[in-house]
Structure 1
Amino acid sequence: MSNHRTISKKGIIATALALILLLSGCAAGQNAGSKKAIKGGTLTYGRPASVTSFDLFKEITSNNAFAIDKVFEPLVSFDKNGKVINWLAKSYKVSSDGLTYTFVLRDGLKFSNGKPVTARDAAFSIKHHLSAGGPLAIEAKVDSVIANNKQTLVIKLKKPFTPFLAQLANFSNGIIPYNFDGKSEKQFFKKPIGTGPFAVEKWNPAGDLTFKKNTYYWQKGKPYIDKLVFKTISDDTQAVNQLKSGEVDAIESVPLENAKALSQGSDTKIQTDGSWVTEQVFFNTLDKNLSDVHVRRALALAINRDGLTKAVTFGYAKTAHSLLPTTITYNSDASVKALNYNVAAAKKELAKSTHPKGFTTTLLIASGNSAVKQEAQIIQAAGKAIGIHIKIQSVELATFRERFFAYNYSMMINSGQADFPDADSILAFQTDPKGFSKSYWTHYTNNTVTKLLYAGEQTADGPKRAKIYAQMQQILANEVPYIPLYYPDIVIGHRSSVKGLVVLPNGSVRFEDAYVK
């Protein structure tokens, strides 16, 4: 997923093609503080960007994704440890050949308008996503999607696809009413109806968003709060000030230089954990200067990643050497041979390029984030040390996204992250030149990497799949279409009176257990 927004190995479950998996009756919700929870009231959550769309089939950026997942829910989800768990489905079964997936819906499921949820709704949702494609398309080759009865959905694949179950846990596979509840698709997403803990009450695509409690929510007695407000605060300093003053109850993106002070405040606290995120420098490989692999390698050698990480993250991150976060299975950070800091080697690498005497280029960043600004300045200094003059272009977040979506940049600082608990979530998005993002808008193309990507998707979990992904990560470290900088922790700030927040490794927060004392 594309940010800018925003991991100890967790027990991540992916599909094991050689086994029949039958999981049923998993407790879906977290019950933190449920015995003492205070019901009612409003929780206001500060976020750096407004919600512009609820179309789960077309959206990808976190500002929208983390609102969509409050309204729409998938058949399976994942917990804060990245483990795939039952959600709208009370059980699922995978055939021994990995081709047939059978889901049984929970009893008594209803949409936020009170209408019952059936397997026909689920079949319609999956089929529509298959036809719509979109930035987070279902990559598996699906043969059929059939509602056997009101509660049973059967999905058959043409060939095994190891990440399929984990991919179904993504927000983009949420369940919507059959035929958009009789409305046009455009009308439906203006007033969306889902199974999530909240429904949209008031929404300004250029400003704030107010959710109201879904009184038909399947987790009995939840959510505890009556309303959830997403308040747009584009500047991180303002967000901290509003948290301290009590204007907001929690904030999504805590500036890391303020994290310790907030954690020690009398009225403020933080929640922190590892994430599925990798902070990176991205190169537009269509750029006349940065298409040269020796230039990219030179810049990778010129940047002191350890120093940068220490300077900008205040202990809330680990230096990255590989694309995959350390919380995702098959991360090779410890074994990959990265281009670590060596200015002399950087100069020699640049001498091999078509620009041995250096050149001038630009580094695009989103404004309002102090850490990113500092990263940019460190990278600028690193480039200068080897003769590459980097001009920093700081633009507001919406323009930043428009620019890189249009390949209108040379270099940029952004973060890549997994949307579901499988290595393919990041690798496919950042290495497939035929995918929606054309290798995360870098247009990086390597036929060997592409073949390895597809092989990894077809290979059952185990040593063979691990070897494929290790090889991919080494090639990426050698050719540097992007420079992994660090693996940041997720840091959420909140008032001491706020209880029950559940932070997920993709950066989203579950609010169904939240309440304000």
Structure 2
Amino acid sequence: MAALVAAPLAVALLATGCGGGGSGSGEDGIISLHWSEPENPLVPANTTEEMGSFIVDAMFTGLVKYRATDMAVENAVAQSIETTDNQNYTIKLKPGWTFHDGSPVKAKNFVDAWNYSAYGPNGMQGASFFEQIDGYDALQSEDPDEDGPAEAPKPPTDKLSGLNVVDDNTFTVKLKTPLTIFPVMLGYSAYMPLPDSFFRDPKAFEAHPVGNGPFRFENRSPNVELNVMKYDQYAGDDKPQINGAKFKVYNELDAAYQDLISGNLDFLEAMPVSALVGDKWKQDLGERAHQKPGLLIQTIGFPMYDERFKNPLVRKAISMSIDRKTVTQQVFAGSRDPMDGFATPAVEGYRPNQCGEACTFNPEKAKQYLQQAGGFQGPLILQSNSDGGHSEWMQAVAAQIRQNLGVDAQFVPQPTFSEFLNQRRAFQMDGPFRSGWKADYPNIETFLTQMYRTGTSSNDYQYSNPAFDAALDKANAAPTVEAATAAYADAEKLLAEDLPVIPLWTQPVQYGFSEKIANGEVLANRRLDLTTVTLNP
């Protein structure tokens, strides 16, 4: 969801802006949604966290889309995506699509966007999504020599050799090796097209992004709100029935929840812990409370670059000291399910008990493993952002480790998600850290490659295992999607031996509407599909 991170549930809101302005009126056809400031400007391939993805998904439409009811893959801008060998693809576009500035969506807009995003010096967070395309390596900078200049030399080219524009509505893609699920991936934000105006002035685009999706950018007040309006010339079949959406920034999930039940917010994609106790949220919202299986997981990652966590027995001991069932019962009122692997049962390719012993609560065995590893010196600092409803469970996990492992575990929160994520991405964490994830597309691969493959966009642990990378390569090259999915599950099994993260629990999508919304489909990755929303009279 994208690919990174199940991102935070909220980030900073100016005190004067909290809940301000109401949710809009039924007459104006505009709904309001809970939001937080994204990590980066809203360039699709640089948006790999949840809150930025909410906006990108409203403003852009890719070659394919994921059906709201079940995340099935459907063609969107693509007329056809054809291959005979799963390595060479011919992609034809439907005519008539335009960007919000009125310019046509052409094959070159996809090719130019992918080239820009893959070019290393541009620093796009989602660049690694293009690593399978032929020529990707030539677009990356080499690390500067210790005895040479401080800056890395520019790559020899800024164009992927595997991309070729045939005509205005056709382009071809050559991959390094076969990648059977490539068409499934193409609805992810990194693969969105960019208008010609982006390349003339990327900074101007960041201030006023221009997409090709059902909603266009209207305005933004940093740390307060962002507004989008229906794009009247939208070429998709899923035309919006509302006029627009206001994304409102909150500093606490509880504050957003109070606005929801009072009618000052129209959609909340997750419930605060305080509302889960005794199913209070269902009592408060009645028929406006909804729950469905989710493609969401919660994990704690290890900074593998820290010598204290190099020994897998240390990581295994910490994992086995956590009583997941007790935490889910006491903190989440039983609304979470302990994980037994690295993916959710709701995703295609799930295989039970992939984590094995490492995810089984066994405090005595945990102590033995820690003793074999030579113990742990100093306090164990657990970290998360405090603005996303994570403090309660992080404190509970720290207490479990103290009680069951005898290690001085302490929860030290970071004020905002952006600060927390910046520290993670800079590899500056001094202890285990929250590392949740939501699926970007409905295949188990989305829970594996970008988090654990060497050097990928959301591998904030600096985890690297050549055997795991090779297992992914084998899965990528499988002859059918079914065979590939099974092979990805084989790769997942290797993670249990290394345990770069502690799998904790999966979670359903628990969301609520205001009385203003009559209907609306929420995807299994917690995103409200704004094109499906209808309002009460």
Q: Shared fold by TM > 0.5? A: yes
Residue-by-residue CA offset, 1:304-358 (whole Å, 9 max, x unaligned): 12222223333433211111222222222345423200111111111101226x6
Partner of 2:253: 236
- Tell me the CA shift for residue 299 of structure 1: 0.9
Partner of 2:132: 140
**d(CA) in 1 for partners of 2:516, 2:109:** 39
Partner of 1:28: none
Other structure's SS at 2:337 match: strand
- Tell me the CA shift for residue 139 of structure 1: 2.8
- Tell me the CA shift for residue 227 of structure 1: 2.2
Choose the corresponding residue for 2:182, options 153, 164, 169: 164
Is the CA contact (8 Å cut-off) linking 1:324 and 1:333 kept in structure 2? no
Q: Structure 1 residues 39, 241: CA separation in 2 closer, same or farther (over 3 Å shift)? A: closer
Which amino acid is the alignment partner of residue 73 of structure 2? V
**When you count helix as a share of all residues, which structure comes out higher?**
2
Q: Does 1:208 align with 2:225?
A: yes
Is the CA contact (8 Å cut-off) linking 2:444 and 2:489 kept in structure 1? no
Residue-by-residue CA offset, 1:469-494 (whole Å, 9 max, x unaligned): 34433332232211111111122221
Is the CA contact (8 Å cut-off) linking 1:72 and 1:176 kept in structure 2? no
Runs of 4+, deviation exceeding 6 Å: none
Choose the corresponding residue for 1:271, options 268, 281, 290: 290
Partner of 1:16: none
Q: Once structures 1 and 2 are overlaid, which stretch shifts more, 261-270 or 501-510?
A: 261-270
Is the CA contact (8 Å cut-off) linking 1:43 and 1:515 kept in structure 2? no
**d(CA) in 2 for partners of 1:391, 1:336:** 25
Partner of 1:457: 476
**d(CA) in 2 for partners of 1:54, 1:473:** 32
Other structure's SS at 1:492 match: strand
**d(CA) in 2 for partners of 1:513, 1:467:** 33
Q: Does 1:262 align with 2:251?
A: no
Other structure's SS at 2:89 match: strand
Q: Structure 1 residues 226, 467: CA separation in 2 closer, same or farther (over 3 Å shift)? A: closer
**d(CA) in 2 for partners of 1:226, 1:446:** 49
Unaligned runs of 5+ in 2: 10-25, 135-160
Choose the corresponding residue for 1:502, options 501, 517, 521: 521
Q: Does 1:400 align with 2:403?
A: no
Percent of aligned pairs sharing the same letter: 20
Partner of 1:2: 5
Residue-by-residue CA offset, 1:38-71 (whole Å, 9 max, x unaligned): 8852101112445751111222111211111111
What is the correspondence of 1:180-191 to structure 2 with a 5 Å cutoff?
180=198, 183-191=200-208
Choose the corresponding residue for 1:253, options 270, 273, 276: 270
Q: Structure 1 residues 368, 268: CA separation in 2 closer, same or farther (over 3 Å shift)? A: farther
TM-score by length of 1: 0.86
- Tell me the CA shift for residue 244 of structure 1: 1.1
CA-atom RMSD in angstroms = 2.5
Other structure's SS at 2:85 match: coil
Partner of 1:10: none
Is the CA contact (8 Å cut-off) linking 2:39 and 2:49 kept in structure 1? no
Choose the corresponding residue for 1:441, options 451, 460, 473: 460
Is the CA contact (8 Å cut-off) linking 1:125 and 1:178 kept in structure 2? no
- Tell me the CA shift for residue 98 of structure 1: 1.5
What is the correspondence of 1:296-311 to structure 2 with a 5 Å cutoff?
296-311=315-330
Q: Structure 1 residues 53, 303: CA separation in 2 closer, same or farther (over 3 Å shift)? A: same
Q: Once structures 1 and 2 are overlaid, which stretch shifts more, 498-507 or 234-243?
A: 498-507
- Tell me the CA shift for residue 222 of structure 1: 2.9
**d(CA) in 2 for partners of 1:107, 1:463:** 32
Choose the corresponding residue for 1:54, options 42, 59, 77: 42
**d(CA) in 1 for partners of 2:285, 2:412:** 38
- Tell me the CA shift for residue 201 of structure 1: 1.0
Partner of 2:450: 429
- Tell me the CA shift for residue 511 of structure 1: 0.5
Which amino acid is the alignment partner of residue 157 of structure 1? L
Q: Does 1:192 align with 2:209?
A: yes
Q: Structure 1 residues 269, 400: CA separation in 2 closer, same or farther (over 3 Å shift)? A: same
TM-score by length of 2: 0.83
Other structure's SS at 1:400 match: helix
Partner of 2:21: none
